[in-house]
Structure 1
Amino acid sequence: MIEVKNLTKRFQDFTALENVTCTIGSGCIYGMVGSNGAGKSTFLRALTGVYQPDGGRILIDGMPVWDDPAVKRRIAYVPDELYFLSGANLNRMERMYRNTYPDFDPEQFRKLCSQFQLPRNKSLGQFSKGMRRQAATILALSCKPDYLFFDETFDGLDPVMRNFVKRLICEDVLERGASAIITSHSLRELEDICDQLALLHKGGLVLESDIENLKTSQFKIQIAFREEYDKSKFDGIQISHFEKSGSVANMIVGGDRDDIVDKLRAMQPILLDVLPLSLEEIFTYEMETLGYTFQIDEMNEEGAANAKS
């Protein structure tokens, strides 16, 4: 289990993380979304012991991660900015990882290299961006760590390879009970793989929830009446978003679906539809409720632009 309490990290001219608190259980995939500068990379670097926190604490299975080699050997980290030994190929990187990680699995390494169809004797400097990310993923998974941290994991990967990497991460978590933290610009990349999802904005964790709870606790209502009405007509119903155009209102509602639909039907509307919500809509409306104007669509457009570059 990872316990983060009031984590703060400052640099010379700005605060990258401020009072971030979360708990990440074993055997789960924890997704973190946020735009550039939100603090995602800083968060992972603090969790891996690359950065020393300026405030708060980080415990992995009850042990502080900073300056503790024993804890760090249980973590495999694939950063956004990849690093390999100068002039190294995959075989040389394997030797280094085998000397660092006691549970490194050479058979798993060879199997993954074959599945990804990556040459083990070719210099990594000659690999494309996507191939380098695949190589880093192979090395991380071969370490058989208890904790896997991936920063912008799918950046530079084509759609087929993204799905393959997602499947490998899911299988590893399920089979070994490992925990994975994955950061991304894009909600679309994470909603089909994560158990929990968090939104980091300007160094703060502003929203965190179980995926299934997010998807089942809220829904969209489209409703209309012949008479004039406003939001006050629905007093007693938990509404996080209300928008009316003409006689038709669109509402984001939380609570027991059957109970709420029965209440609305009793009002004798001329139109009543219950519609599912996408994860993007849920996050957008949750952010509005919290008083943030951060746009999920803009974040996804930014992620798509980065993937094309």
Structure 2
Amino acid sequence: MIEVKNLTKRFHDFTALEDVSCSIGSGCIYGMVGSNGAGKSTFLRALTGVYQPDAGKILIDGQPVWDNPAVKRRIAYVPDELYFLAGANLNRMERMYQSLYPDFDKNRFEKLCGHLQLPRNKSLGQFSKGMRRQAATILALSCRPDYLFFDETFDGLDPVMRSFVKKLICEDVLERGASAIITSHSLRELEDICDQLALLHKGGLVLESDIENLKTSQFKIQIAFREDYDKSKFDDIQISHYEKSGSVANLIVSGEREDIVQKLRAMDPILLDVLPLSLEEVFTYEMETLGYTFQIDDLIEEENRHAES
């Protein structure tokens, strides 16, 4: 288990993380979203022991990470800005990882290199961005670590390769009980793989939830009545968002779906539709409730920019 307690990290006069606390259990895929500068990379570097916290604690299975080689050997980290030895090829990097990780699985490494058809004798400096990320991911997964940390994992990968990498991560979590933390600017990338999702904004963890709870605890209602009405008509229903256009109102509702639908039907509406929410919509309305509407808009804009580039 990973326990982060009141984590704070500063750089000169800039606070990258402030009072961040969370717990991540074994066999869990934990997604963290946030725009550039939100603190995602700093969070992972602190978890891997690259950065020493200025305040707070980071414990992995009860042990501190900072200056603890025994814990670090159980972690594999693929950063956003990849690093390889100068002039190294995959064979040389394999030997380095074998010397650092006692559980390095040579057979798995060779199998994955063959599957992805990555040239093992070619300098990694001559690889494309996507190939370099594939190489780093292969090396990390071949370490057979208990904890896998990926920063912007899918950046530079084509759709087929993204699906393959997701499959590999899920296999490690399901078969070995490993834990994975994946950061991304994209809600869509994490929706189909993560068990838990957190939103980091300006160095603070402003929202954290189980994905299934996020999706099932809220739903959208489209409703209309013959007579004029306003939001007060629904005072006994928990509404996080209300918008009316003409006679049709859109409600974002929390609670037991069947009970709420029954109440609404008893009002004799001329239109009543119950619609699912996308994860993007859920985050938007959750953040509205917390007063962070501007941030989720920035995140979606950034996601669209990455999709266009």
Shift of 1:226: 1.6
Q: Partner of 1:194 in structure 2?
A: 194
List per-residue Cα deviations over 1:139-196 (Å, max 9, x = no partner): 0000000000000000000111111111111111111100000000000000000000
Separation (CA, whole Å) in 1 of partners of 2:28 and 2:114: 27
Shift of 1:305: 3.0
Q: Match of 1:83, SS?
A: coil
Q: Partner of 1:95 in structure 2?
A: 95
Is residue 7–residue 55 contact of structure 1 (8 Å, CA) maintained in 2?
A: yes
Shift of 1:304: 4.4
Letter aligned with residue 255 of structure 1? G
Q: Match of 2:293, SS?
A: coil
List per-residue Cα deviations over 1:23-51 (Å, max 9, x = no partner): 00000100000000000000000000000
> TM-score, length-normalised on structure 2?
0.98
Shift of 1:306: 3.5
Separation (CA, whole Å) in 2 of partners of 1:303 and 1:260: 34
Q: Partner of 1:70 in structure 2?
A: 70
Separation (CA, whole Å) in 1 of partners of 2:72 and 2:279: 33
Q: Partner of 2:39 in structure 1?
A: 39
Is residue 221–residue 272 contact of structure 1 (8 Å, CA) maintained in 2?
A: yes
Separation (CA, whole Å) in 2 of partners of 1:207 and 1:233: 30
List per-residue Cα deviations over 1:251-300 (Å, max 9, x = no partner): 00010000000001111111111001000000000000001123535424
Separation (CA, whole Å) in 2 of partners of 1:227 and 1:307: 44
Separation (CA, whole Å) in 2 of partners of 1:272 and 1:304: 32
Q: Partner of 2:255 in structure 1?
A: 255
Pairwise mapping of residues 1-309 of structure 1 onto structure 2 (< 5 A)? 1-296=1-296, 298-306=298-306, 309=309
Change (3 A) 1:44 1:264: same
Q: Match of 2:145, SS?
A: coil
Is residue 201–residue 295 contact of structure 2 (8 Å, CA) maintained in 1?
A: no
Separation (CA, whole Å) in 1 of partners of 2:52 and 2:304: 32
Separation (CA, whole Å) in 2 of partners of 1:300 and 1:248: 27
> TM-score, length-normalised on structure 1?
0.98
List per-residue Cα deviations over 1:232-252 (Å, max 9, x = no partner): 111121111011111111000
Q: Match of 1:261, SS?
A: helix
Letter aligned with residue 177 of structure 1? G
Separation (CA, whole Å) in 1 of partners of 2:240 and 2:116: 45
Letter aligned with residue 267 of structure 2? M
Aligned length: 309
Separation (CA, whole Å) in 2 of partners of 1:231 and 1:305: 36
Separation (CA, whole Å) in 2 of partners of 1:308 and 1:236: 44
Separation (CA, whole Å) in 2 of partners of 1:153 and 1:190: 10
Separation (CA, whole Å) in 1 of partners of 2:275 and 2:295: 22
Letter aligned with residue 8 of structure 1? T
Separation (CA, whole Å) in 1 of partners of 2:307 and 2:226: 48
Separation (CA, whole Å) in 2 of partners of 1:94 and 1:67: 24
Separation (CA, whole Å) in 2 of partners of 1:283 and 1:44: 22
Shift of 1:115: 1.0
Is residue 44–residue 149 contact of structure 1 (8 Å, CA) maintained in 2?
A: yes
Letter aligned with residue 242 of structure 2? F
User: Which sections of structure 2, spanning at least 5 residues, go unmatched?
Assistant: none
Q: Match of 1:294, SS?
A: helix
Separation (CA, whole Å) in 2 of partners of 1:307 and 1:104: 35
Separation (CA, whole Å) in 2 of partners of 1:291 and 1:214: 18
Separation (CA, whole Å) in 2 of partners of 1:147 and 1:280: 27
Is residue 147–residue 178 contact of structure 1 (8 Å, CA) maintained in 2?
A: yes
Separation (CA, whole Å) in 2 of partners of 1:214 and 1:153: 23
Separation (CA, whole Å) in 1 of partners of 2:189 and 2:304: 10
Is residue 155–residue 307 contact of structure 1 (8 Å, CA) maintained in 2?
A: no
Separation (CA, whole Å) in 1 of partners of 2:306 and 2:281: 22
